[in-house]
Structure 1
Amino acid sequence: METPNGELRDQSAERFLRLVQQRRRGRLKVYLGLAAGVGKTYRMLQEARELRQHGVDVVLGYVETHNRPDTVAQLRDLPVVPRKTLFYKGRALEEMDVQAIVQRWPAVVVVDELAHSNVIGSKNEKRWQDVEELVKAGISVITAVNVQHLESLHDQVLKITGTDVTERVPDQVLKQADEVVNVDLTVGELRARLEEGKIYEPQKVPTALQNFFRAENLLQLRQLAVREVALLLERQIESDAGGAAALAPKRRNTDYLLACINSNAPAAREIIRKTSRLADRLSVAGWYVLYVQTGYEAADRINLATQRHLLHNLQLATELGAHILRVKDDDVVGTITRVAREKNVTLLVCGVTRAKSGWERITRRSITTDLIRAVARADWDLDIFLVTY
């Protein structure tokens, strides 16, 4: 984890400079924070100035200062690509002009608020998609996001803060980054900045302190941010060490995880996100999402809203890196175990409801209990992870 030390900042800028110079493909650097106000935008602008001192062509594609004086002061002398204006419901709204940046073709562009949703009518729905487009065009990007915006952490953040974060970024974006830097402050320092009016307007401070910025919330978000950067760093070290495999050969993990979902939308979302996190932590070869469509869930027996939620969840799984499997069969348990064997799965992730139906209470039977029995009888190394909802 990086500290706010000037020497470390210089080293970080120099590392990214070397990455920019190594290849023509754009590079991606992400500043990750635990919450608003930790200094992500300030750090990005500092780095932009340092790169310009090294002769790098840096421009600002989109920066949101929130009128914070220290951040505004960092804007001086940095070239800006003007935003474009889009009209939506009679209002003029500004968005980053991706086409203008590509035409300008700088070496590096600074793009703030990675999780932002673009105005309807924009080429891309999300800003992270704009960033992907810039990187593919050969432009290196420095961007920033808070940990609560990571897709796989949505359920954890909701439980911690009570806030349903609607603007989210697929974890894959961070996994593809060349560098991720944790911009860290202690909980006391961040709350002090809030109380001093350095984050929000004075009238918003009391509400923020009693809600999202409660000390216990920030502590857990800080732990999530530190853990996320540590996992990304561990993955990067393993990737960089790949060239030394001949000196220290390591067997590639060939295990797979299998997330089992149905049309219960909230449960499916939580299962998908938790499986994504497990896949990362266990460094498996990959993971699948299996939807077994029984006769009870045939297209003509479930409503359009349920079908739409199911498709959204399968899209979510794809964004998080899963392979999608859809099978029509009334034998749910038999299908799951058959697919698990075929796909070399060693861990099943399934849901279990806290509230049981009357029939389940009488018979003590459910698909989950039958699946647990099937796993116990499996003649290969197969475990099960239950997600309660």
Structure 2
Amino acid sequence: MFQRTEPDEILKKIHDEERKQGRGYLKIFFGYAAGVGKTYTMLEAAHTAKSRGVDVVVGYVEPHARPETTRLVQGLESLSPRIIEHNHIQLKEFDLDAALARKPELILVDELAHTNATGLRHHKRYQDIRELLAAGINVYTTVNVQHIESLNDMVASITGVLVRERIPDYVFDDADQVELVDIEPNDLIERLEAGKVYQPNQAKKALSNFFNRDNLIALREIALRRCADRINKMTELAKADKGIDYFTGEHILVCISSSPTNAKVIRTAARMAAAFKGRLTALYIETSDYIRMDQKSLNTLSENMHLAQQFGARVEAVCGDDIAYQISEYARLSNVSKIVLGRSQTKKHLFSKPSLVEQLTFAAPNLDIYIIPVKGTSVYRYQKYKEKPQFVLKDFLICICVIIAITFIGYLFQNFGFSEANIITVYILGVLMISIMTSQRIYSIVSSFLSVLVFNFFFTNPYFTFQAYDSGYPVTFVIMFLAAFITSGLAVQMKNSAKRAAQTAYRTKILLDTNQLVQKEKNKKGIIDVTCHQLMKLLNKDIIFYPVDELNLQNPIVFSIDDSKDIEKCINNNETAVATWVYKNNKHAGATTHTLGNAKCLYLALRVNENVYGVVGIRIKNKPLDPFEHSIVLSILGDAAMALEKEQVIREKSKADLIAKNEQLRANLLRSISHDLRTPLTSISGSAGILLSSSDTLDEKNKKQLYTDIYDDSLWLINLVENLLSVTRIEDGTMQLNMTTELIEEVVHEALQHISRQGREHHIQVQQDNEFILVKMDTRLMIQVIINLIDNAIKYTPKGSHILIHVFKQKQEVCIDVQDDGPGITDEMKPHIFDMFYTGNMKVADSRRSLGLGLALCKSIVNAHHGTMSVLDNQPKGAILRVILPVEEVILHE
């Protein structure tokens, strides 16, 4: 049965095809161990390509002192390696910039999983290769099975060796071609024993450890299975493209923590997502202990988040101290079907809390929960970081003052005959107040203990000693201490929760405000200003914005929180180069990342799909952005990018509309001119022909009539051409107003001097109020307006009609009315009378068709003078065309 393709799927395919166009071709030579012949096979393929005329260059090949490999490198052009000094040792690295400058058709880069030396642009070599592919360069490379991220734990459990150099799975899966280089494990062992892989002393050590026969067999099986998984995935994608037998509804959730063992849980979840063909989401719960995390834990957390992103997981962050509740609520709202957790190794005792798994099972009984065994402490029980007590004079004085105050109140209670229970309640209240008013938990604990001692000293018999004769007092003291301790703890917890909730609400408010503010802005500058100021409010950090214009990164715009000149250190060639790389590659880079990490700022792209509309630099000093902040920042940048895309679409649409409008104008002008110029041109040429051929036989009266006709037709053409020039200048925006202050009476009289000869056949009068009115105008254009209005009245009224030009002042405006007593303008025509090329059904007195430019031109000129035009009915008949202009402040009276 035919299945309709969803629009989102069509758009995704279009974006994928556009992204692939112009990109290079990646081929990976894949093996299960060193020495199987990956580099050798790659070099043989390079020679074959060169024999076909392909431009082949060796970017970097690790020869490993193998003669066969070294011999194959010869005959191929090779780039010189880049020499990097590290701990007084010279390291040879792949020169990415030299490869991009050479830009061959095919380049060979060995060791895909290699970690670059400090100081290079990228942390990993696979990132170098991705940049080569983006530049349109085809790449051959090599990698072993133990270097694939999701298989790292599995290989380590087999071989006992934890491989540090790894590549994300998507690099392997997204390769255009993977060629498995395979030999029998026994043959590989023989090569090792023969010294063809390592030096004899190294080979002997390798054979006794990593390269034993059982390990090689297991690694070979994993490599074969991984290639088969890649083929299966390609088949499923092909089925999805054709809409055949493919559906996934699985959504797998894995939690991120600062535990070193969390990486194994993430890898397992990624393999499950691939197996179930589902989505993968990584969730981080930011608790109140986050602010006390040490740098090591922060780095581990950042690495785990980066690992999840490598697997294509969508990283989300939520806030709250109840981890089980936060996970279950997110799973419920996001339609999660499976949750992957690490197994706790903590021992259970009588008073221990339920484990996270037990809490989750109770909170979300309908979800599938997968437990992954890990070594060490609990993966998901958030580590409680002990707060180091610090002496704060203000808090110390608060404790002393509160205890003195409640002791005084206790004396009052004792004098009024209240029982000791009431006094104990006062002390508990005091401890509660201290918990709320001080900044550290230690003060509430100490005040709980002191309140017991003070109560014992002042209110138990014998007084003013720390002894107590009554046998029930020890129990009273214990209960009093526990009550004070518990209430103070609850107060501190509530205070911290309130602070956390206020901070979360503040961040969320900034996000919502940003969405509303950027939607209100109509231009690019306003959107940039709103975005950067909102980021400053959220992060309290300096922001640098690099706008994009005409597909190039422009000069940075600085937004400083304290207007200090220290921000200028972040504006130099090195920082600009990082921002440029982010723009070209549509990825984040800079401080706290593995790409150009020596930069002073973290650079993020404002992007929608593959289109980048700007680059934001966030000045990171010491501590990286916390996960929740990072999530909010990405949301803000997403809103800003959408607004910039919308603004660009509107701007491009306006340009397209203007071009279409100009094209339509040209078409209408050409069509009208070609048709309407025939009559005057034919008249002129006919009259001139008669004068040339029959001038001797014509009497003076007929000659004068012919001359008059030629003159009148020429004036009509001159007026038409003047209108056409003015219309084109207005439409393309090149009309410049030369504003001067003029007497309106003089302008009207000047216009009457240019009225056509047909005006003599009408009664034209001027009426003006008894005052001199000054108007700021472009005299030439305003004369043209009055001429067009009078000519319009002449054209559409019969001979002998009366035309009145009435000028009068109305408040702070001057009105110029051109009145006639002709047939008038119907109600159907009034809404269109100022439209270009509109002539209606009126008959022109001089037998010519009007182009319909005059009144449209008049309205455009009047609007440019901040005035208005309107059409009114004249009484008892006729029409009034009214022009209203603002007057100057100076008005001269007679």
Describe the superposition over 1:174-197 as per-residue Cα deviations: whole angstroms up to 9, x where unpaired: 122111122112221111111111
Distance 1:293 1:84 in 2: 42
Query: What CA distance in whole angstroms lies between the structure 1 residues aligned with 2:202 and 2:41?
Result: 24
1:276 corresponding residue in structure 2:
270
Tell me which residue corresponds to 1:259.
254
2:99 — aligned with what?
A: 101
Task: Give the 3-state SS of the residue equivalent to 1:86 in structure 2.
Answer: strand
Shift of 1:342: 1.9
Among all aligned residue pairs of Structure 1 and Structure 2, give the percentage whose two residues are the same amino acid. Answer: 37
Distance 1:232 1:251 in 2: 17
Counterpart CA distance in 2 for 1:273 and 1:241 is 26
Q: State whether structure 2 residue 255 is matched by structure 1 residue 287.
A: no
Aligned residue in 1 for 2:79: 81
Please say if 1:346 is aligned against 2:337.
yes
CA deviation profile, 1:189-236 (whole Å, cap 9, x unmatched): 111111111110011122111101111211221122111111111112
Separation of aligned partners in 2, 1:291 and 1:253: 25
Higher relative contact order (Cα pairs below 8 Å, separated by 6+ residues) = 1
CA separation of 1:82 and 1:217: change in aligned 2, threshold 3 A: same
SS of 1:290 mapped into structure 2: strand
Match of 2:58 in 1: 60
The answer to whether residue 370 in structure 2 is matched with residue 385 in structure 1 is yes
CA contact (8 A) 1:38 1:184 kept: yes
Alignment partners' CA distance in 1, 2:305 and 2:317? 10
Larger Rg: 2
Is the Cα–Cα contact under 8 Å of residues 172 and 319 in structure 1 kept in the other structure? yes
Distance of 2:203 and 2:264 partners within structure 1: 32
Q: Does 1:372 align with 2:372?
A: no
- Pick closer, same or farther for the CA change 1:38–1:218 going to 2, 3 Å: same
8 Å contact kept, 1:27–1:178: yes
Residue type matched to 1:343 in 2? S
**Structure 1 equivalent of residue 291 of structure 2:** 299
Matches of 1:84 and 1:97, distance apart in 2 = 5
Residue 120 (structure 1) aligns with: 118
Q: Note the C-alpha offset of 1:282.
A: 1.5
Residue 251 of structure 1 deviates from its aligned partner by 4.2
Q: Which amino acid is 1:42 matched to? A: Y
The 8 Å contact of residues 261 and 350 in structure 1, kept in 2 or not, is answered as: no
Deviation at 1:147, TM superposition (A): 0.9
2:160 — aligned with what? 162
Distance 1:77-1:262 versus aligned 2 partners, 3 A rule: closer
- Kept in 2: contact 1:33–1:225 (CA 8 A): yes
Helix, strand or coil at the partner of 2:139: strand
Give a deviation string over 1:26-76, Cα, whole Å, max 9, x none: 011111111100000011001101111211111111111212122222223
CA shift, 1:151, in A, is 1.5
Distance 1:79 1:212, change over 3 A: same
5+ residue gaps in structure 1?
Answer: 1-21
Partner of 1:215: 213
Mapped contact 2:114–2:165 kept (Cα < 8 A): yes
Pick closer, same or farther for the CA change 1:324–1:77 going to 2, 3 Å.
same
1:42 aligns with 2:40: yes
What does 1:25-36 align with in structure 2 at a 5 Å threshold? 25-36=23-34
TM-superposed CA distance for 1:368, in Å, is 1.1
Distance 2:297 2:241 in 1: 47
- How far has the Cα of 1:237 moved from its partner? 2.3
Deviates more, 1:74-83 or 1:28-37: 74-83
Q: Give the C-alpha shift of residue 287 in structure 1.
A: 0.6
Separation in structure 2 between the aligned mates of residue 342 and residue 180 of structure 1, nearest angstrom: 39
Instruction: Count residues with an aligned counterpart.
Output: 355
Q: For the residues of structure 2 that align with 1:58 and 1:187, how far apart are their CA atoms?
A: 32
Contact 2:56 2:106 in 1 (8 A): yes
Letter in 1 for 2:319: K
Tell me the TM-score normalized by structure 1: 0.86
For residues 243 and 280 of structure 1, what CA distance do their matches in structure 2 show?
A: 18
Q: 1:246-274 deviations in whole A, cap 9, x for unaligned? A: xxx334313210002433222x1111111
Using the TM superposition, give the Cα deviation of residue 117 of structure 1 relative to its aligned residue in structure 2, in angstroms.
1.3
1:91 aligns with 2:89: yes
CA contact 2:159–2:210 (8 Å) conserved in 1 = yes
Alignment match, 2:541: none
Alpha-carbon distance between aligned partners in 2 of 1:372 and 1:224, rounded to the nearest angstrom: 34
- Give the secondary-structure state (helix, strand or coil) at the position aligned to 1:120: coil
Cα distance in 1 between the residues matched to 2:42 and 2:304: 34
SS in 2 for 1:257: strand
Decide whether aligned partners of structure 1 residues 84 and 356 sit closer, same or farther in structure 2, where only a CA change above 3 A counts.
closer
**Which ranges of structure 2 fall in alignment gaps of 5 or more residues?**
1-19, 375-894
Give me the CA root mean square deviation: 1.9
Separation in structure 2 between the aligned mates of residue 307 and residue 86 of structure 1, nearest angstrom: 29
Q: 1:331, CA displacement in angstroms?
A: 2.2
SS at 1:77's partner residue? coil
Pairs within 5 Å for 1:136-175: 136-175=134-173
Cα pair 1:261 1:351 within 8 Å, conserved: no
Query: Offset of 1:243 from its aligned partner?
Result: 4.1
Residues 152 and 71 (structure 1 numbering): CA distance in 2 closer, same or farther, change over 3 Å?
A: same
User: Once the 2 structures are TM-superposed, how far is the Cα of residue 129 of structure 1 from its aligned partner?
Assistant: 0.8
Q: Which amino acid aligns with 2:265?
A: I
The DSSP-based 3-state class of the residue aligned with 2:326 is helix
Provide the C-alpha distance between the structure 1 equivalents of 2:75 and 2:238, rounded to a whole number of angstroms: 37
- 1:265 counterpart SS class: coil
Q: What are the residue-to-residue correspondences of 1:172-251 with 2, within 5 Å?
A: 172-245=170-243, 249-251=244-246
- Secondary structure at 1:325's aligned position in 2? strand
Partner SS, residue 73 of structure 2: coil
Equivalent residue letter for 1:269: A
The CA deviation at 1:364 is 8.1
| TM-score normalised by the chain length of structure 2 | 0.39
**Partners of 1:112 and 1:144 within 8 A in 2:** yes
Three-state SS of the structure 2 residue aligned to 1:94 is: strand
Residue aligning to 2:776: none
Partner Cα separation in structure 1 for residue 247 and residue 86 of structure 2:
51
Aligned-partner residue type, residue 365 of structure 1? P
Q: Quick one: which amino acid aligns to residue 360 of structure 2?
A: L
Q: Single out whichever of 324-333 and 192-201 deviates more from structure 2.
A: 324-333
Would the aligned equivalents of 1:299 and 1:307 in 2 still touch at CA under 8 Å? no
Give the letter aligned to residue 205 of structure 1: A
What is the rounded CA distance, in whole Å, between the counterparts of 2:45 and 2:70 in structure 1? 14
Q: Which moved more, 1:39-48 or 1:112-121?
A: 112-121
Distance 2:320 2:266 in 1: 21
Task: Tell me the residue number matched to 1:19.
Answer: none
Structure-2 change in CA distance of 1:243 and 1:274 (3 Å) = closer
Q: Does 1:356 align with 2:346?
A: yes
